[in-house]
Amino acid sequence: MVNNVIEAKSLVKNYGDFTAVNNISFNVKKGEVFAFLGPNGAGKTTTVEMMECLKSLTAGSIKILGNDIKNDEIEIKRRIGVLPQDFGAFQLLTVYQNIDYFAQMYPKHVEVDDLIKMLGLKDKRDILFGYLSGGLKQRVGIAISLVNDPEIVFLDEPTTGLDPKARRDVWAAIKDLKARGKTIILTTHYMEEAQNLADRVCILHNGRIIAEGTPEDLIGRYGGDKMLIIRKCSETAKNELINTIQEYAIDGDNVLVKLSGENDMKIISKAASIIDTGKSTCEELYVKKATLEDVFLNLTGDKLIEGGK
Ligand SMILES: Nc1ncnc2c1ncn2[C@@H]1O[C@H](COP(=O)(O)OP(=O)(O)OP(=O)(O)O)[C@@H](O)[C@H]1O
Ligand SMILES: [Mg+2]
């Protein structure tokens, strides 16, 4: 039997006349990374805050670890951890003091130094929070979300605004949490983040779920074709390619060839052999695989906002 740790049914959240979350249902399985992917304003934070007992439900129901959100708030809060969006801690306390401050709120808590070690913060233990870089601050936030040794951890946009190196460090920390058996609910508007970390992705758009599945599954269903892209072809190369390859499209100097799975290697090597001769040149030849960005674009006609890039 599937072990669901979260069961959300027909969730609705209205702010006055505005419906931010519009009748969504989903289940999260024990031990998985479940990502809500969507652009600004999609309803990601509102959805997680309802699960975190921070926002009331306009309609619908949520069960967390078998407990009803409406009746068992204290039990749920005891067993979950939260990294809020735009997390901040006390600037004038050290890393240790900040984590310890939150740990002291729980009668039973994880050793603060164990959390510091787990998040790779040993060197920064006695540094003021205000002096840390963005990535290190987020890692302190994740440590704080773990003080009560939660079974489910909610991470709301844990890498927004971070540089690529800091983002990868936070990804490593999230993978480590999964390896320790935690269930992780992640929100992000970075498709690479969802693709890299999530076992299952729920794409939110205007408060609705527009698709749900594993990244591979979503890309397979909605991503479109794999393409061979031959950029900036000379006139000779373009003519030769057109004469030799059957399914192609022309975009200015570029030739795009659909790869359907069968004979892909033959098509690629044929194209490469044409390019290699005399006047037949191009600037670049590569295979483009569909991504979750293509999935979003194909489903909505909009681009996911790729902030910080
Ligand atoms: N307290 C509130 N009162 C009124 N409207 C709100 C409130 N909180 C959120 N909203 C609106 O609800 C919608 C969903 O907001 P939410 O913060 O859940 O989106 P999000 O997907 O987390 O976006 P982001 O990626 O920017 O964090 C937005 O249009 C937002 O302006
Ligand atoms: Mg948000």
> Is residue 20 lining ligand 1, measured as CB closer than 6 Å?
yes
Q: Which ligand is nearest to the CA of 189?
A: 1
Ligand 1 mutation target, pool 11, 14, 15, most atoms within 8 A of CB: 15
CATH number at residue 279: 3.30.70
Same domain, 29 and 151: yes
Within a domain: 305: no
Q: Is residue 301 part of a domain?
A: no
HEC-encoded secondary structure of 75-92: HHHHHEEEECCCCCCCCC
Query: Given this model, what pLDDT does residue 307 score?
Result: 42
Distance from the alpha carbon of residue 41 to the mean position of ligand 2, in angstroms: 7
Question: In the prediction, which pLDDT does 225 show?
Answer: 84
In a domain, 302, yes or no: no
Q: Is the pLDDT of residue 308 over 60?
A: no
Q: Which of 179, 199, 221 is the last residue of a domain?
A: 221
Contact 112/103 with Cβ under 8 angstroms? yes
Average pLDDT value for residue range 263-289: 88
122 in the same domain as 76: yes
Are 15 and 147 members of one domain? yes
Do 157 and 273 share a domain, yes or no? no
50 CB within 6 A, ligand 1: no
Give the pLDDT mean for 118-125: 95
- Percentage of the chain beyond pLDDT 90 is 76
What tens digit of pLDDT does each residue of 156-185 get? 999 988 889 889 989 999 999 999 999 999
Mean pLDDT of 88-101: 97
- Least confidently predicted of 118-122, 141-145, 222-226, 229-233: 222-226
Ligand nearest to the CA of 304: 1
Report angle CA 134, 137, 139 to the nearest 5 degrees: 115
Identify the domain boundary among 173, 196, 221: 221
Greatest mean pLDDT range, 143-152, 231-240, 259-268, 296-305:
143-152
Per-residue pLDDT at 2? 64
Q: How many angstroms separate the CA atoms of 188 and 204, rounded?
A: 10
Name the least confident of 9-13, 30-34, 81-85, 290-294. Answer: 290-294
pLDDT digits (tens, 9 = 90+) for 14-65: 999 999 999 999 999 999 999 999 999 999 999 999 999 999 999 999 999 9
Residues 95 and 126 in one domain: yes
Q: Compute the distance between CA of residue 22 and CA of residue 48 in angstroms, rounded to an integer.
A: 14
Q: Are residues 238 and 113 in the same domain?
A: no
Domain-ending residue, one of 221, 239, 273: 221
Range of the domain at 129: 4-221
Number of domains in the chain: 2
CA nearest ligand 1 atom 26, residue: 40
| Residue 307 in domain | no
Residues 123 and 239 in one domain: no
Q: Is the pLDDT of residue 261 over 90?
A: no
Report CA(94)–ligand 2 centroid distance (Å). 27
Could you give the 3-state DSSP secondary structure of residue 269?
A: helix
Asked whether 296 and 303 are in contact (CB, 8 A), the reply is yes
Residue 156 lies in a domain: yes
Residues 106 and 247 in one domain: no
Report the separation in Å between the CA atom of 86 and the middle of ligand 2, taken as the mean of its atom positions: 9
Does residue 300 belong to any structural domain of this protein? Answer: no
Query: Ligand 1: does its nearest atom lie under 6 Å from the Cβ of 188?
Result: no
Which range has the worst mean pLDDT, 4-13, 92-101, 136-145, 284-293?
284-293
CATH number at residue 111: 3.40.50.300
Whether residue 110 sits in one domain with residue 29: yes
Q: Which of 68-82, 140-154, 269-283 has the lowest mean pLDDT?
A: 269-283
